Chain A
């Protein structure tokens, strides 16, 4: 028989024994070994993935609507996260480390200022100090502000020398303490901690972070519901097929598989669409942001999703699609039983 030839890729079949016409035998039952089962599992997965892909393409309108909702639901948390990341970066680029700026009295000479700066370095509670002389201050002001000409109208440099002090202990409680001590020094006109707005920014970012998490949780639920509902409809429309498959011995896993792949494809396609939405929005925002940042003389640059974040977005999207499908399948496949 043909069975005996080992055809490439064919399942090995027990050779048919010589038939004894007198004796009734049971029909030969063919057993598949474990390797065959493994191969058939992989083959079925590939096949189902392909069929699921094409079946989604065969209903372009439904698929597009679902994908649009998914893309938006995935893009919003993604965009918020990107925005947050940029805000944090903004805080970092202006440096969150609090420094105490000591504005010295105008009567203090450069030499005295230099001595003070050195003395401050010796203190236990000071990590570093840096003197910006009145002359340096003026040059910096001219370079940064664009109002360089102003000084030519003045007889003398109106700027005081400044000593920037970096506290050793950066905690919120101790910095003001140091500030008060330094304020008491005779040479110091005013000691200012230049951290308030950074603190505010940090607090704002923390709040925004929470907000992003809450919204993310809500959008995740939306994604699960959208995928779940789409899969539910798909299960309903394939009811006959499910019943027949179960009747001829399909396992739950077999019946479930096409729907899970639907979920995976929805997740992947939704994730890719979301990525494009985010990157496009950032690209669109980039011009105005650059203009705004230019006004603040900052090096800040709007950054989109990096490679790792993109991969993460896609993985999360796929997992959400899969989870949504799993929820729908778990609920509805149990109800469909042959009667």
Chain B
């Protein structure tokens, strides 16, 4: 589903965020991406989101070579991907429900259908009773679950997460990870960047380790 083929990302200042990274993730697989901060985890996710383009090598998603997508096609690529951010990236000028329904609006879903799907997503993350609240009144864990609901509401083929448990205590972190596992069980390919090694160790999933932009270990 995801394939990195000798990928290098060099920033204009000469810094290599990734160098010659090779790995691939099968359809329906779940993996953790780990490494120290600055190891290139975020860069790798940005390449998958087409927020950045590689300096060298090829990134594939599905059968699509991302280098072949023009800037105009980027939005349609992003609709196939769900992303969960460490800082949630929620909008505090609208309700939880409005936050979650946003990707569906953008994809052009019928409002009735979109509302049904948004509630289903909220139900999955256990926040159906909070749909009318402003996300600002929710706890950190709840906000993160809203972020997850927004990432999966349009049933993306691939779910990416950048430090989704960064600000959460161990119990909440584990809950969030269980959610990701659930989505993986219904067939979504999941890649989670995290440096919470103890949590990762307790999960039976593949771990890809980056160190200073290079792939160090890959496997479980």
Contact = CB atoms under 8 A, between A and B. Distances in A.
Interface in B81-133: 83, 89, 91, 93, 102-103, 105-113, 116
Contacts of B77: 249
A97 interface: no
A200 interface: no
B75 A246 contact: yes
Interface in A231-264: 240-241, 243-252, 254
Interface centre among A9, A36, A244, A248 (most CB of B within 10 A): A248
B103 to A, nearest CB: 4
Given A10-B112, A249-B79, A24 B157 contact: no
B186 interface: yes
Contact of A248 (B78, B116, B187, B188): B78
B1 interface: yes
Given A32-B107, A44-B108, A247-B49, A27 B113 contact: no
B157 A27 contact: yes
Contact of A245 (B49, B102, B113, B116): B102
A26 B108 contact: no
A11 B75 contact: no
Contacts of B72: 251-252
A24 B183 CA distance: 12
B66 to A, nearest CB: 14
B113 A248 contact: no
Contact of A28 (B75, B111, B155): B155
A279 to B, nearest CB: 40
A65 B110 CA distance: 37
Nearest to A24: B28
B137 interface: no
Interface in B20-47: 27-28
Contact of A27 (B76, B78, B93, B156): B156
Given A26-B189, A27-B155, A244-B91, A44 B105 contact: yes
Interface string B174-197: 000000000100111100000000
Contacts of A44: 105, 108
A331 interface: no
A203 interface: no
A11 B187 contact: no
Contacts of A30: 154-155
Nearest to A13: B113
Contacts of B116: 2
Given A24-B27, A29-B157, A248-B103, A40 B49 contact: no
What are the nearest 7 A-B pairs in CB distance?
Answer: A24-B28, A40-B108, A249-B79, A249-B78, A248-B103, A11-B110, A25-B187
Interface of B: 1, 27-28, 49, 51, 72, 75-80, 83, 89, 91, 93, 102-103, 105-113, 116, 150, 154-157, 183, 186-189
11 contacts: A26-B27, A26-B189, A30-B155, A37-B108, A44-B105, A244-B102, A248-B83, A249-B76, A252-B72, A254-B75, A339-B51
